[in-house]
Every structure is written in structure tokens, then in C-alpha cells.
Structure 1
Amino acid sequence: MGVLEPSSVLVTGANRGLGLELVRQFLQMPKPPQMLFATCRNPSVAQDLRELAAQHSNLRILRLDVESKASIQEAFVSVKDQLKGLGLNLLINNAGRVFSSSVFSESEENMHLLYQIHVIGSLKMSQTFLPLLKKAAQTGPQDGLSCNRAAVINVSSAAGSITTLLGWEYGHILSYRCSKAALNMLTQCQGLVLKEEGILCIAIHPGWVQGEMGSSSGYMPTLKKEESVQGMLNVFSTLSEENSGGFYSWEGKVLPW
């Protein structure tokens, strides 16, 4: 297993849940990122993030709404300025939502919203931050693709696996499943193209995690966010060119589309 030591990382949806825990564990690494950008829609109420930023000078909190092209562009300009000519090693598209809906009750509005967040938001983030990812790929380690060089991680779900349909017996969550299935296809396409630019791209299933989103069906998952994030970081440390475009679990297992 390699050592995960990216110099710069950006995490979306970092004010709670898995995003916040990702930030915490990056900060706890023996060699944490020199620049860790934690983004959320409303930093003024992100108390946990603000407390962490007060303790860690390498943590920068940014306002970013993945539903807004203008907001993504503003965040890009801020990150570019703060990196001072350096590239962005690791982009983690984590922002997400879920609605407890069924095949019979799902609304057009929810469908549009979750595609906007999970699919279009992840696409626009990758497109907008591509110059910084390419910069990192060109100036970082040249011994193959890795999360230390340049990578895009799309946080997906086995609930969006057409083969697996994780948790169907507990809820349809139709807009969530469909948007995550589309995100998986986006990841496959990005993986095929971005590897030519020296950028790794994968989708990862964090497991069915305790928390606001994981418990939305009324069923209480057993997996804790701390365990999920530790597993995901372990997976990130092992990734190479052969994983490009793949779909993996937090335990490192290959998942079916």
C-alpha cells in the first residue's frame, strides 16, 4: 500500500457527515495537506469547520454551492489564488442529498435537484478545476497516476448500482439512485479521458453510513463515518492507472455498475 500525501485537497459538502470527517482525518495525517480546502454552501453556520480552521492554518473554508456555476467559478478563482501557481492534487466531489421517495411519489423537482447536485455539479467541478488538476499532474510525481499526483474522486453509492440496488428493501429513494447511476457513468467517461492528462478518476461507495443521509430510510446503519472515511483514505492510497474509471467500495472491493 502506498502513502497518501497529497499537497492540496478540496472537499465539497464539508460542513457535515462524510465531508467533515474527511477534513478531520486529512488534518490528522502524519503529513497533512499543505492546503486543505473545505467547501460548503454557508460557511457562517459551519461551526465544526470553523473550529477546525481556528486550530489548523492549512484548512481554508470556502463558500461553494455546486448547484451554481457562478459559485463554482468563484471558488476556483479563490483556490487558484491561494495555491500561488501550484496545482490541485485531489478533488473530492462529496456534496450530496437524498429524499425519501418512492417510484410512485418521486417528484420532477427532486429528480432535477439531485441530478443537478450529483451529476452536473460533479461535472462542473471537474471541468472548472481541470486547469489546476492538470497543473498538478504536470508538476507532481511522474511515476504513474495517483491521488498524490492528480485525482478526482466522485463519492457515489451502491444504491446507484443497477446490479446491486443496495437497500431497496428499505426504500426506493428513486432520485438518489438514478442520479448516482448517472454519476457512475460520468466517472467511467472521465476516467477514460482524464488519464490521458495524468489525472486519475474513480467513483467510491462510502458504505451505508450512520448520519442524516444514511438514516433517511428509517433504518439505522451500523457503519460509522469514522470507519468509512478511514477505509476510503486507505483505498485512495492504493489507486493507480489500472483503477481509472473504476467503481469501488470503502473497503476496496470492485463494485458492479
Structure 2
Amino acid sequence: MAELSVRSVLVTGANRGLGLGLVQHFLRMPKPPQWIFAGCRDPKGQRAQELQNLASKHPNIIIIPLEVADPSSIKAAAAKVGEHLGGSGLNLLINNAGMVKSNTLDTETLEDMSEVYTTNTIGPLLMGQAFLPLLKKAAQGSPGSGLSCSKAAMVNISSIAGSISSFFGWEVVQATSYRCSKAALNMLSKCQSLAYKEHGILCIALHPGWVQTDLGATAGKPPLTVDESVQGMLKVLSSLSEKDTGTFLDWEGNVISW
């Protein structure tokens, strides 16, 4: 199987959980990316301490202030990433930042629904728009035809909770706003795959499994560690080709029904 080989990657929500795990695993690759852009809402805050420590030891980690619910923050981040990359493009964008409100259907509110949807669905939409020029540049600068994550790709971290035919974990936590936002993110991923294919960009929705993170723990005791999930996801990303764009997969490469 081909090794995932990217010159540059941007991970949103990179200060903890899956985002931090992804950054750590990119560093451990036989050939680590030249640039690992770690998007983080509050780079100087206590929650980003571990990421700061990592960046102080690895000059290829660039911490980018990034609030995915704020269009101006996204535009500023795209400009900053573009400056670092110079004339080259961005190979891999991983829209990982997300949030959950553990409301029942009866207690769901306009405010919570709006906040969750803005972060989980609108954020990846705006990120795709802002970073499209850099992804296109990476695709144009990569040799060969076809699509792959080593060339140019947009990966949206979704959830089986957004699968309408699965209703996974409903008895444990309803989290209606989260489920709706991830179902919408799945459709966004499909739309992006259709719109960006002509530019040489692969787009997928990826379920990381039920993982031992702050977000995952809202629904009970998750079985998967961050390391297990991230290793699996990177293995899946390394194997993707043109036939996979627009699909909804899990961390083991299984197709999840919409």
C-alpha cells in the first residue's frame, strides 16, 4: 500500500483530541510533511499547551490562530498559510474542529442548534472556499493524473451519528443538533467532491470511530484510543483514489450508509 506522502497539511482543532493526535502522527511518519499547519482557536491558552510544547521542538509545526465559526479568522488563516507555502499549494486539508451539545430533542434550542451547525457544517464549507486556491495549486503542481490525498484532498471529519440510516447511539445520547450538523456535513462533502473534482481535489467524509476524547466521552465510554483512530484514518487516507471521492468512510475504510 502506498505511504501517505504530503508536503503540507492543515488540521483544524489541532490543540487536543483527534486534531492533536493527527499532528503527532504526521510528525512520526518516515517522511514527515515539510509544513504541518495546526489550526487552533486560542493558541496561547492553557488548552493549547501540549501543542505549543510540540511546536517548540518541531520547526515544521506552524500554529495558526483559527476559529472556524468566524469567516474573518478563516480568511486570515488562509493568507498566513499561503505566505508560508510561498509558491506551492496545500496538499491536505483536514476539517477536524467540531463541537457537540448533549441536548435531547425536547431541550434543543435555536442558539445551540445554530452554534453547533456553524462550527460543524458552515466552518468546513468556508474552509473549503478559503483554501480552494491553495488546494488547486497543489493539484496542479503534482505529477500524474487521478486523485489522491498525497496530491490534493479535503477530508471532513464526520460521524456515524450523522448517518440517517444508522441512528447509532440514540439510546445513549440524542444530541440532535450534532446529528443534524454531521448529516449536513456529509452532504457538503458530496457537493465538494462534485464541484472540486475538476480541479484535481479528492473530498471525503470520514468517521473516526467512537474515540476517547472530550467530545467522544459525552456519550459514555468510547472503545477507541486516539492513537488507534488516527493510525486507522491515515492508513485509509493513503489508500484513497479517484473512485473514493465523495464517499463516507470509517477509520477502517468501511463504507458507511448515508
TM-score by length of 2: 0.98
**Any idea what SS the aligned residue of 1:229 has?**
helix
Cα deviation, residue 2, structure 1:
1.4
* Helix, strand or coil at the partner of 1:44: coil
Identity of aligned residues (%): 57
Tell me, in whole angstroms, the C-alpha distance in 2 between the residues paired with 1:141 and 1:58. Answer: 24
| C-alpha RMSD over aligned residues | 0.7
Aligned length: 256
Query: What's 2:61 paired with?
Result: 59
Q: Partner letter of residue 154 of structure 1?
A: N
Conserved? CA contact 1:191–1:200, under 8 Å: yes
Output the CA distance in 1 between the equivalents of 2:121 and 2:98: 10
The alpha-carbon deviation at position 142 of structure 1 amounts to 2.0
Aligned-pair CA distance for 1:143: 3.1
**Shift of the alpha carbon at 1:3?**
1.1
Distance 1:131 1:35 in 2: 17
Aligned to 1:14: 14
- Matches of residues 165-244 of structure 1 in structure 2 within 5 Å? 165-217=167-219, 219-244=220-245
Aligned residues of 1:160 and 1:179 also touching (Cα < 8 A):
yes
List per-residue Cα deviations over 1:11-61 (Å, max 9, x = no partner).
000011000000000011000100000011100021111111111110000
Q: Structure 1: 5+ residue runs without aligned partners?
A: none
Question: Residues 141 and 148 of structure 1 are in contact (CA less than 8 Å); yes or no, is this contact kept in structure 2?
Answer: no
Q: Equivalent residue for 2:44?
A: 44
Letter in 1 for 2:88: L
Cα offsets for 1:88-125 (capped at 9, x unmatched): 00000000001111011111111101111111100000
Look up the equivalent residue of 2:161 and give its one-letter code. A
Secondary structure (helix, strand or coil) at the match of 1:60 reads strand
Within 2, Cα distance between the matches of 1:81 and 1:10?
14
- Whole-angstrom CA distance in 1 between matches of 2:10 and 2:143: 19
Q: Which runs of 5+ in 2 are unaligned?
A: none
**8 A Cα contact 1:119 1:182, kept in partner:** yes
> Aligned AA for 1:16?
R
Q: What's the TM-score once normalised by structure 1's chain length?
A: 0.98
